[in-house]
Amino acid sequence: MCDSSSMSAIVLPKYTPPSPLPSYSFDLGCGEQRLESTPRSSIVARRPTSTFTRKSGKASISLSEQEEGCSIPTYGRGGVISGSLSLEAPDNVAEVVAIVEGKIQTTFSEAGGGTLKIFKDRYTLWSRSPLAHDIFPSSLPFAFILPTTFKHGDEETPLPASYHAHFIDAPTLLATSIYQVQFIVTRSRHQKLEMWHKHKHITIPFRYYPRTRAPRPILPMPCFFSSIKTSPEEWYQAETSLKMRADSKIDPIHCHFFIPAGRVYSVLDTIPFHVQLSGNVSALRDLLAGPLLDRVTSADTTHSNVPPKRPTAKPLLQVKLMRRLTVNVRGTKYWRTSMLGEGSIASVPPDESDCCEDLSTCRAGHIDWEGEVRLKDQNAVGSFNVANVQVQDFIILSLTPPRDRSSPMLDLNMSVPIRLVTDSCSEVSLDSSLSL
């Protein structure tokens, strides 16, 4: 057993303060190597500094951190609606209340419609005390934080972006997600009769635009054939065989459609693609010889066949960005599609290193096209699936054989599901609400 006097005689070692941390620099030092770098986009990183103002009678409402000259205020995920309210004649003001709300409205002309409340938050900004003679301030500041989710059934669901889609073709389909902030100014009609009140409502719609970043970038790859060999993981391949008529004896033709891997793209991205048709060379020449067939190449030929131009009602190949809206009205789903963008396509010259000279001996061959597609409206919202509204996006490859003669090949439509988001992977936002 230890003696207490000996314990008190123990001397602790002297404390040595730690050395200061080395200074940090973004520049590489000697022996250092940059493993990964994400450049900042000046467009996304800039915070708006202007003010949106709405005047109604003797009331004026200012909302801060808005783009200069904007027609409607915009807020992101978890955004703060901040600003001030001013009144020219505040003497008889009894109360000022703000209501922030969001809702989804759907209508189908043959089944009716409905409204789903996303959220509705009420804030009392100012209230006159019955026991004191409060003076309404010259400028009443406010700040409300938008929720990021709402409860639908048993699930917590992210708030949908502001959205409006109206298909007027019979039957009519309408789907909207709407957000607004409403200020209610209550005044006493007579200072001695507090029960007689007059209410003024000032409603300001706003755009909810939650930002989301693509998880991987679209790498610049000028040559598809070299990149598919060195970096096959950077491409997503969809493959199918062209369907023939029942009485056709032609060998099958295979269609290969390549788009950047990940299939999550920004609404600002230009999306490259590559199309290859492979099969028997004779079948390719017979079936696809038309005004838009520039070349048939194979591993056994050096010939490049360019048929004479003939008018056609529809291009041989088309690549489009399509959006499908699906709404659930009273338990029944209805849907419509719209085009977001159409791609530009060009034929790819043959690779002369894989050729032979006798066309009659050619067997396996291929035809190649490349192109790119992007959205016409780069302010469009991304894909989402919330409550009774689903917005899905696809890249559609359509192949239409020539109609000037009987063709054993049927039309081909290949659909590749994708997801559209607001920001490219290479963009970094100062907004902490940006998510993957």
pLDDT reading at 348 higher than 90: no
Indicate whether 204 and 235 sit together in one domain. no
Segments forming the whole domain that contains residue 277: 224-421
pLDDT band at 297 (very low <50, low <70, confident <90, very high): very low
Same domain, 177 and 88: yes
Residues 234 and 190 in one domain: no
Quickly list H helices, 76-223.
none
Q: What pLDDT was estimated at residue 11?
A: 75
Is the pLDDT higher at 2 or at 13? 13
- Residue 13 domain-assigned (yes or no): no
Asked if 179 and 238 sit in the same domain, the reply is no
Band (pLDDT 50/70/90 cuts) for residue 362 is low
Per the DSSP assignment, residues forming a β-bridge with 244 are 409
pLDDT (0 to 100) of residue 116: 92
Task: Quickly state the pLDDT bin for 101 (edges 50, 70, 90).
Answer: very high
Q: What percent of the chain has pLDDT over 90?
A: 47
User: What is the pLDDT, as a whole number, of residue 7?
Assistant: 53
Q: What is the pLDDT of residue 212?
A: 92
Q: Which of 161, 182, 208 is the last residue of a domain?
A: 208
Which tens digits make up the pLDDT trace of 21-37? 666 666 676 777 777 66
In a domain, 36, yes or no: no
Average pLDDT, the chain: 82
Q: Which of 256, 258, 257, 262 is closest to 218 using CA atoms?
A: 262
Question: Region 287-314: what's the mean pLDDT?
Answer: 49
**Weakest mean pLDDT among 29-38, 218-227, 306-315:** 306-315
pLDDT exceeds cutoff 90 at 17: no
Which of 153, 177, 208 is the last residue in one of the domains?
208
What are the contacts of 222-231 at 24+ separation with CB within 8 A? 224/258, 224/274, 224/348, 224/368, 224/370, 225/351, 228/258
Do both 150 and 257 map to the same domain? no
Looking at residue 284, its pLDDT comes to 80
Domain co-membership, 204 together with 304:
no
Residue 409: pLDDT band with limits 50, 70, 90: confident
DSSP symbol at 324:
E
Residues 241 and 157 in one domain: no
Residue 181 sits in the same domain as residue 230: no
Average pLDDT over residues 96-102: 97
pLDDT at 195: 57
pLDDT value, residue 295? 42
Domain boundary among 175, 208, 241: 208
Whether the pLDDT of residue 406 is over 80: the answer is no
pLDDT at residue 3, as a whole number:
56
pLDDT at 53: 96
For 232-243, what is the mean pLDDT?
A: 90
pLDDT at res. 304: 46
**pLDDT score of 113 more than 70:** yes
For position 8, what pLDDT does the model report? 57
Q: Same domain, yes or no, for 307 and 375?
A: yes
- CA atoms within 13 A of residue 348's CA, in its CB half-sphere: 20
pLDDT band (50, 70, 90) for residue 109: confident
pLDDT, average across residues 310-324: 80
Say if residues 27 and 34 touch (Cβ distance below 8 Å): no
pLDDT score, position 279: 85
Question: Is residue 313 a part of any domain in this protein?
Answer: yes
Domain membership flag for residue 30: no
pLDDT for the residue numbered 351: 61
Whole-number pLDDT of residue 194: 55
Q: What is the CATH number of the domain that holds 192?
A: 2.60.40.640
The arithmetic mean of pLDDT across residues 162-182, rounded, is: 91
Instruction: Report which residue type is found at 158.
Output: P
- Whether the per-residue pLDDT at 39 is higher than 50: the answer is yes
Same domain, 354 and 290: yes
Q: Is there a domain that residue 404 lies in?
A: yes
111's tokens: 């089944």
Exposure class string for 320-344: b at 16+ Cβ within 10 A, else e: ebbbbbbbebeeeebebeeebbebe
pLDDT at 282: 76
CA 9 to CA 224: how far, in whole Å?
Answer: 79
Nearest to 85 by CA among 49, 122, 125: 125
Would 435 be classed as within a structural domain? no
**In this predicted model, which residue has the larger pLDDT, 72 or 48?**
72
Q: Mean pLDDT throughout 115-123?
A: 95
User: Do 186 and 286 sit in the same domain of this protein?
Assistant: no
Looking at residue 298, its pLDDT comes to: 43
| Mean pLDDT for the stretch of residues 129-143 | 84
Examine residue 27 and state whether it is found in any structural domain, yes or no. no
The pLDDT, as a whole number, for residue 312 is 47
> Is there a domain that residue 89 lies in?
yes
For the chain, give the number of residues.
436
Tell me the C-alpha distance between 292 and 311, whole Å: 10
Of residues 136 and 303, more confidently modeled: 136
- Please say if the pLDDT value at position 433 is more than 90: no
Q: How many independent structural domains does the chain possess? A: 2
- What does the pLDDT read at residue 430? 44
pLDDT at 192 over 60: no
Specify whether 138 is located in the same domain as 240.
no
What is the average pLDDT across 139-159? Answer: 93
